[in-house]
Structure 1
Amino acid sequence: MIELFNKGETTATFRAHSEKMIATIKGFSDEKILTADFDEWAVYFVDEYKLQPITLFMDNITQNLSETTVRKYNHFSRHSDYEPEYYQIDGYKITFSIPFDGDSELLYLRPSTFYMSRFPVESIVKSTEEKYGEITFTLEYTKQELQEKENAKEFIASKISQEFKTYIDTIEHINQEVESYNKGLEDCVRSALENRKKKANDFVLMGEKLDIPLKLNPNAPNITPIAMKKATVRKPEIPKAKPPEKQYQISSHDYDNIKRIIHLSGTSMEKTARTFAKFSEEELRDVILSNLNTHYQGIASAETFSKVGKTDIHIQFENKAAYIGECKIWHGEKNLLDAIEQLFSYTTWRDAKTSIIIFNKDNKDFCKLLKVIENSLSTNALCKHKLSVEANEWVCEFVKDELSSTSIAVQLVVFDLFV
């Protein structure tokens, strides 16, 4: 176990850091300071002595769960000589790994504003130019404590946020002092250079008064630092936790209701086939669409279901379709297979729910047509499951190809409008 913020104070440490820099400048020879380019030296010392604040990547925390024994105080020990003061019970240890960047030594300093509490962590891996550092922080709970929580995941997330808050606040206080120190660093460098140059000038003037032949060698090598900027290695940004793409879908309950509405709409058309037999695919689609929107209304508009393609009915969300209905006039088995393939090209989310609504306007033998569809579904390699709901309706589960694990629910329903 390691304790943070307890090995020194920021004020004293930063002062010592500045004094080390000033001592280096004081060590310049007279010749060196009198030929120095102050701008170049200011850049050099600022780069060399500035402090890198601590940056915590809280969005990239990883956690690990392990079994342990938890030490608990025994309240009964105060009233009994036979009761132990502490007892060990089974529990869990949650280990959080928090990546960070910056000067690792800052984590051991106490800022001017601080909490009167301890700050234990499991371990610290220092940040380097090639790799981010890591703070390991642990929480321990008995099995009973976690089992009593309705949502242990949310509880743990809340706890790490609460328990680590004082750590974050303290680091913010340190970073504020680091920012103040860094802002004043260039002025400190220039002041030290000026003081050292003044001392050198005073010495030269004194030599002139005493007629001591002190002069700079015009042939002396150039000792002004050339491009003394500290080489900085750009560190790659740590990969961020991408939330998986949201896979929206309509509920099974709503899908069943949609199928029911479609079936009732088509059955109603069959009863007045002489009227609807004259309708085109688009017109028949609009009847289904109107009935669906009578039952469902969207948030942004009065229509949950919209027309997207020539004969398509969609529920759109974030520019993707959560439900697709395709209306077709029966023109043979090949057109049915084309309609199924067309659905596959539209679906983008997992567990997409769809309907293929077929209208028969030209075939006198409707029973034969139904047998053709039954046989086509039974022999289709992509149809993994088929359930006959009614004589004219099937609910199937398709995959896009033989290697795909993505399932597509398809309601296939046929209405007879032949007159």
Structure 2
Amino acid sequence: MYKNSANRIFGGKGSIAEYFKSQIKNLESEINSTSESYILNVSEEQFADYLIDKYQIEKPIVHFENVYADNIEKNIPAEHFPMSFYIRNDKSYPRQVIQFFAPISGNSELLKYVPGTNTITLGGGKCDFEVDHDKLKLEIIDFYNIPQKIKLEYDENVLSAKRKLEQLYQDFDEFNNYLESWITGEIKKRKNKFLSQNEFMNSLGVPLKKNINTSETFAVPRPALRTKIKVSKPQSNSQPFRPEPTIDLEVYNQILKLINDVGKNFERMPSVYKGKGEEDLRDHILMTLDPNFEYGSACGETFNKTGKTDIQLRYDSSVVFIAECKFWTGEKGFLETISQLINYLTWRDTKASVIIFVKQKDFTTILTKVENITPKHPNYIGFMSKSDENWLNYRFHINGDKNREIKLAIQLYHIQ
């Protein structure tokens, strides 16, 4: 009826594409305002999770199933009457107005935008709803006192609104899907800017006067992974960022793949490995890893073993990969193995694996127990992926610092 353009559904605020642009602009401003110290010390994944949660769009839901109606008398200007009415053009006449209200959950203001970014906006159909705070309102003037006519006009409006609402939802989905890769890329861009600046200044070969809040570092590869964990902004360690060498994610996955191949051989040839202890099984894994990877300084440091069950990859004095081999002794022993491994890890983004040998016959039950118990560890951050039925990838943090994350693979093998 009376159309307040500012509240009109699918049109009161302009194109949804313009809203998306403003969101991206705000995001860009927030990322670019982060300090060097913060961006170099904070976990990229946790900072990305925070921004994604903050800027992704939650779809407003219109509850047409809970619609209710009311009626009110209003003075209707002559120009709104049908041509069949004999009335004076400069007059208003009282008529009954039927009002329909549909409750809205979520941000109702988003319903005021015109849908359509990369597609043609759907046309046709009547849509005279207005956004009235937490509900949609439709007013239909009762000119003929025919309920069926009022109901038909209402149904036409609902059908048109639902069609355009689906298109608006599609726009929201496309924007949300775009956010993850865009945010991750912008964080990396900001971080690489500081890394390049430090590299350039260090290449001058003279002592530099540095602000005590500015950190020195070098570039390291980082994966673009998303696991939503919390909405609060992650805190950055106030200590200066200390660069530590890390292996690339692709190399890490190659190491895990080789371990998995050896573990599958344990299962395929049980007679060969029957009765073997942890140290023997570990040595078979080492014999495969050692010739496949040469990593480190010019002297060619490769895999070294320490203790009874540890597998380590070292770069200079830093451990960049470590695995712990254990037989399954129950849930308590499994969590203790993770804790034991984490105690070894004090470096940024260290990659690790817990290799579990299972003698119990019901291997599937053990796999289920691992999936259920792993999130209960106090250092657990989130699940990443399942590379195989027996190979799960997680994110943990080192003791005392949630920003220093560990990529931890859990790999289980059935030993006869």
- TM over 0.5, shorter chain: no
Q: What TM-score does the superposition give when structure 1 sets the normalisation length?
A: 0.44
Larger Rg: 1
Q: What TM-score does the superposition give when structure 2 sets the normalisation length?
A: 0.44
